[in-house]
Amino acid sequence: MSEELRYERTLQATTTDIPGLVVFDLPVHGDNRGWFKENWQRAKEVALGLPDFGPVQNNISFNATRGTTRGIHAEPWDKYISVATGAIFGAWVDLREGPTFGAVHTQVIRPDQAIFVPRGVGNAFQTLEDATAYSYLVNDHWSADKLDQYSFVNLADETLAIDWPIPLEQAELSDKDRNHPKLADAKPVTGRTTLVLGANGQLGRALKAEYGGQAVYADRTVIDMTSDTIATDYDWSNVGVIINAAAYTNVDGAETLEGRRAAWQINVNAVCQLVDIARTHHATLVNISSDYVFDGIIPVHDENEPVSPLGVYGQTKAAADQIVATLPAHYTIRTSWVIGDGNNFVKTMWNLAKKGVKPSVVNDQHGRLTFTTTLAAGIHHLIDTHAAHGTYNITNSGPVQSWADIAKTVYEAVGANPDDVTPVSTADYYKNKTGIAPRPEHSTLTLDRVQSTGLSIPTAATALSEYVSQDWGNR
């Protein structure tokens, strides 16, 4: 055992110049019999910043002689590296696309330390003692289908300038490692993709505008949310974020036999599959929820309120919320009264105003509009800022209104008389109509949590003014 092994260290994490590459000091307890350590302690190390990376395999490389050198390899998985016996000089090179491509970190690792190596960071080591056992946890299995996602760089590359303790001409290397390309010719590791489901819906279109070429978009022809085999219908291996903007949203239709089955299939069964897919591939799942998970008795709803849905649609969304919550890396986004590029309440009122129609609109349902531009920007913000996972309300801000209030505002904005809108109660509006789902009276969602992440949210009035100023005649 090396004299440099340090006992009774405090467990702590130290970041490096390579983003995501984190060194952990490990407590080692020794006596006359030898030593003991907790090599990987999920709960404690996650609390210190270790990603909850979900290892599926533990590998050990035994190296008989000092000077054995392996690398530099970057694979499409994360690694947690430690030493069981002996010592290594480790070298890590960022091979991911981006501004830190080619960044290098080197250090000696003994049994009292470990290092987390994120996907796309090249890894190499040289043994400093005979009989060194190098151990690593990985969160994916090797597959020939993933070879195109691997990247390599030469151990002797001059631009990396790695100061190997034992000169490479004296070290034990494989021919393959000696012949890896120089950094200038190395293939950068591309980032994992963001996949948007429901790409042709109101939110899907806004996400396209928000993300542009930074995401991949799938409509029902690519991923059918009524399928029971979503996991095998698509290659999920390189997907890092799944944004589920697909849903069954026909609130009244969900009360019918056919609609009820479709709502549960798309809003619950498909989401169950997405949760399993995200867990298997270590992806983050963003799922869109609704104010309809609440009965609307309380005037304002926060993220901690227990769900209490009134109708089938709300029940499916509430069920999905509970399922998604079992996944550590998730964002449940609760929203209300969504307005975007497509058929919606505001566009309907705009058309009625232009035609001179004098509608009756309910005035005893209260909430705030959510414009899909605001919603898409909020989702992007949470992901990019690595906000704490969990449930977030996202709507536009400003005063609480009724549907009748909003209708009057739309009429006024397009030059019609707001008094042409007649406020009525929900009971009167639906009198003598059948198959109508119950609606929550209060749909207002608190915004404190999402605003605490630094998200700036436009008022509904500002967003509505911009929305109705568009060239609707061409829509």
pLDDT in tens, 229-240: 999 999 998 899
426-447 pLDDT, tens digit per residue, is: 999 999 898 899 999 999 999 9
Average pLDDT over residues 337-363: 95
Of the residues 134, 136, 248, 313, only one is catalytic, namely 136
- What pLDDT is recorded for position 31? 85
Torsion of CA 384, 389, 392, 397, to 10 degrees: -30
Where is average pLDDT lowest: 119-123, 139-143, 206-210? 139-143
What residues contact residue 196 under an 8 Å CB cut-off, 6+ apart? Answer: 204, 207, 208, 211, 215, 216, 217, 218, 243, 245
Q: Is 136 a catalytic residue?
A: yes
The answer to whether residues 101 and 188 touch, using CB atoms and an 8 Å cutoff, is yes
Is a pLDDT exceeding 70 seen at residue 349?
A: yes
Segments making up each domain of the chain, as ranges = 12-185, 193-474
Q: Is 73 a catalytic residue?
A: yes
For the record, the structure tokens of 294 come out as 């609440």
11-30 pLDDT, tens digit per residue, is: 999 999 999 999 999 999 98
Query: Which pLDDT band, with edges at 50, 70 and 90, does 474 fall under?
Result: very low
Between strands 34-37 and 28-31, the pairing is: antiparallel
Which 8-state DSSP code applies to residue 282?
T
Tokens 């992806």, located at residue? 283
Query: Which pLDDT band, with edges at 50, 70 and 90, does 2 fall under?
Result: very low
Torsion of CA 261, 256, 404, 411, to 10 degrees: 80
Q: Which residues pair with 80 in a beta bridge?
A: 116, 137
- What pLDDT is recorded for position 143? 79
Q: Which residues pair with 445 in a beta bridge?
A: 301
Is the CATH number 3.30.390.30 carried by domain 12-185? no
Question: Domain 193-474 belongs to what topology?
Answer: Rossmann fold (3.40.50)
Q: What does 219-253 look like in DSSP terms, one character per residue?
A: -TTTS-TT-S-HHHHS--TTEEEEEE------TTG
Is a pLDDT exceeding 60 seen at residue 475?
A: no
Averaged pLDDT score across all residues of the chain: 94
Of the residues 73, 180, 281, 301, only one is catalytic, namely 73
In which element (H, E) is residue 317 found? helix 312-324
